[in-house]
Amino acid sequence: MRNPVPACDRLEQALARILDPSGEGSRTFLSLYRESAEQAATAADRRSRDGTTLGPLDGAIVSIKDLFDVAGERTRAGSIALDDALPAREDAPIVRGLRDAGAIIIGKTNMSEFAFTGVGANPHYGTPGNPADRSRVPGGSSSGAAVAVADGMCEISIGTDTGGSTRIPAALCGVVGYKPTKERISTRGAFPLSPTLDSVGPLGHSVEACALADSVLAGERPWDLERPTLQELKLAVPQGPVLEDLDEVVAPRFESSIGLISRAGARIVDLELPVLERMNDVQSVATIATVEAYRIHHRRIAERGSDYDPIVRSRIETGSAVSTDAFLGMLKARSELVAAMDLALVGVDALIYPTTPIVAPTFEDISATKGFNANNRLLLRNTAIANFFDLCAISLPMRGPGALPAGLMIVGRHGTDRQLFRIAAAIEMLLSG
């Protein structure tokens, strides 16, 4: 990700945007590492002059979500309920990996409290306005990550994704967001929401930026992002709920995007996926994420429940309705459905459908609990599929009339991350042309 502009100059520009009193920096960043970032930028420029490099992110300006451990700091996870937590003893592995790769970590970005809504609102630290329309939410839970990239406060953001938390804000803010196959990237040192479903992924301005960041996060050597020809691809559009309730922006853009891809030679087919209904059956009482979140938080809620966002607390508490035996049954059923989904996708290069059925809601839309919950369900509906079935998935901006961004999601089979990046790069080139 070589940039001809010196790292120190790019860092200065990013800091100016963060510190601009008329901008969203104070709501986007909860911690700013100005001194260490300046030192890292100076070192990166020195390596550049010497003709050496630490890898594809050497000199890249990167932010990290507020739930990653940084040695000597208390990890907030977007909450005030952890203000008595002990400082982290060491950097999370992904933070250490970024530093070793020469990335310039500029700060920690805002998020939904405990990563538990797709809306992105945070009543404790404020919510950054959507870059396309400041009266609208950024999406979550990696809200600050998407705004930071879209507003030029960094070049790459690292978020987490348990039900769509990199892809939802990417779609709503007009950037690229990636969710890997879970096992590829360590979640150690990230405050957990759902250990079964949590994954770590990047947001950036391009598929290439996300692919390079992903390789560093996964501890892999950089690899070739050679794009396949679209004529080689068979892409499936899942039928059923993922195509329901598309709003007046998302529906025509999705139709237009599918048309472009089809005319470029890709084979687009409809695909019935009964496993999606079975997923809903398994989670009819509460989701896996909700049950695991309740197990993590119930003692702290008993002690400090008034310090939680009431909507987040209410969602977590629904997990109390599932007994241990019932939860073990849910996990067993999920394992069976993961295998069934993998078989259902044999012969298909990727699934393709809207990242979210709606564009970013306004702050007024989510001001009451009923509106918040309704919009939150819609925002999470399509993205959560990839987490439940442990697939890899990416959201790309869909172009079209109007200022509000919308996302196209491409979903690959478990473990096909590199191929998914290549497919996404080919589609990105077509959609941005």
Question: Any idea which residue has 């993998």 for tokens?
Answer: 342
Q: How many residues does the chain have?
A: 433
Q: Which of 165, 194, 257, 395 is catalytic?
A: 165
256 is catalytic: no
Of 163, 119, 137, 151, nearest in space to 289 by CA: 163
Dist. CA 74–CA 85, nearest whole Å: 6
Dist. CA 161–CA 115, nearest whole Å: 9
Q: Which of 65, 108, 179, 182 is catalytic?
A: 65
Dist. CA 129–CA 136, nearest whole Å: 6
65 is catalytic: yes
Dist. CA 94–CA 198, nearest whole Å: 14
Q: Which residues contact 73 (CB under 8 A, 6 or more apart)?
A: 31, 87, 88
Residue 59, judged by CB atoms within 10 A of its CB (0-12, 13-18, 19+), counts as buried
306 is catalytic: no
Helix axis angle for 417-431 and 250-263, nearest 10°, is 100
Q: Which of 63, 112, 141, 215 is catalytic?
A: 141
List, as one string, the DSSP characters of 111-136: -SGGG--SS---TTT--PPBTTBTTB
Instruction: Collapse the DSSP code of 190 into the 3-class scheme (helix H, G, I; strand E, B; otherwise coil) and give the result.
Output: strand
CA distances, 13 to each of 8, 19, 151, 271 (Å): 9, 10, 11, 46
DSSP character for 274? T
Q: Kindly list the catalytic residues.
A: 65, 141, 165
